[in-house]
Amino acid sequence: MAKIRSKSFWSKYQIARRSKDSLLCVGLDSDSSQLPQCVRKDTNPIYTFNKAIIEATSAHACAYKPNLAFYLSAGVKGLEALKLTIETVPADIPVILDCKVGDIGSTMDAYLKAFFEEMNVDAITVNPLMGKDVIKLMANEEKSFAFALTLTSNPSAADFLLKNELFKDIAAWIRKFSPKQVGAVVGATQPQYLEQIRRLLPDQIFLIPGVGAQGGDLQAVLDKAIKTAEEPNILINSSRGIIFKDSKSSFAETAGKEAEKLCNEIRKGLE
């Protein structure tokens, strides 16, 4: 039976980070081509893999972030795996669907129904370049939350987001919305801009990918992106560095250890 979203993403995040002393978001970028051999003959290998990862890491995770593309690439089985995965995440841990959608009117409404009502996620990532239409349908829904792409971790962010400092315009746009409904995606590989974006967005939650496999500097992120020690308002996302660290039958145990290790590194960096 699907979970009922009884709390908003904002509330679930704040409760989870305090109760677990964690700012870790585990990215479930469950690429079927990288799954361990030991799960590939299962009826739904992506789900089998994810279930084991969730069970091994949930003590340390403040959120989970499945990336929609990897589930779509597996067809119907992948979408089944995604729905089952969301249902398997403990109810007190928020789920962010990394879908990067952004559209107008009825199209955006259809996305929101699919993700928040059918998939029952707590938050999504959005591309804000089509303006307020991307967000306005969520503005009246207390439990819907979006992370808007502000400055991404990939090198080609320079093509548009860094050109003429477009990221500052996006940050100023995000600030028009409640911090309880809209946050920002800011890459860990862009630490020199993190402090500027935090000044523009003092209260929003930052979803920060790029630590780990992409080479982002954790300490630089913590130094520049934290609001206060009491209200850090960040999520450090790690995907491949946790879930694909081990390709053997011990993959879940290893993922649990990597999640715990990164949590401890975050705590130490905050001291």
Give me the helix-helix angle, 45-57 and 251-270, nearest 10°: 40
Burial class (CB in 10 A: 0-12, 13-18, 19+), 19: exposed
Q: d(Cα 208, Cα 265) in Å, to the nearest integer?
A: 15
CB 61 within 8 A of CB 22: yes
What's the CA angle centered on 49, arms 45 and 51, to 5 degrees? 115
103 burial class (0-12, 13-18, 19+ CB within 10 angstroms)?
middle
- Is 100 a catalytic site residue? yes
Catalytic residue among 100, 168, 257, 261: 100
The DSSP call for residue 216 is B
Three-state DSSP at 225 gives: helix
Contacts 24+ apart (CB under 8 A), 215-219: 215/189, 216/153, 216/187, 216/188, 216/189, 216/191, 217/188, 217/191, 218/188, 218/265, 218/266, 218/269, 219/269
Query: Which residues share a beta bridge with 206?
Result: 184, 234
Active site residues: 100
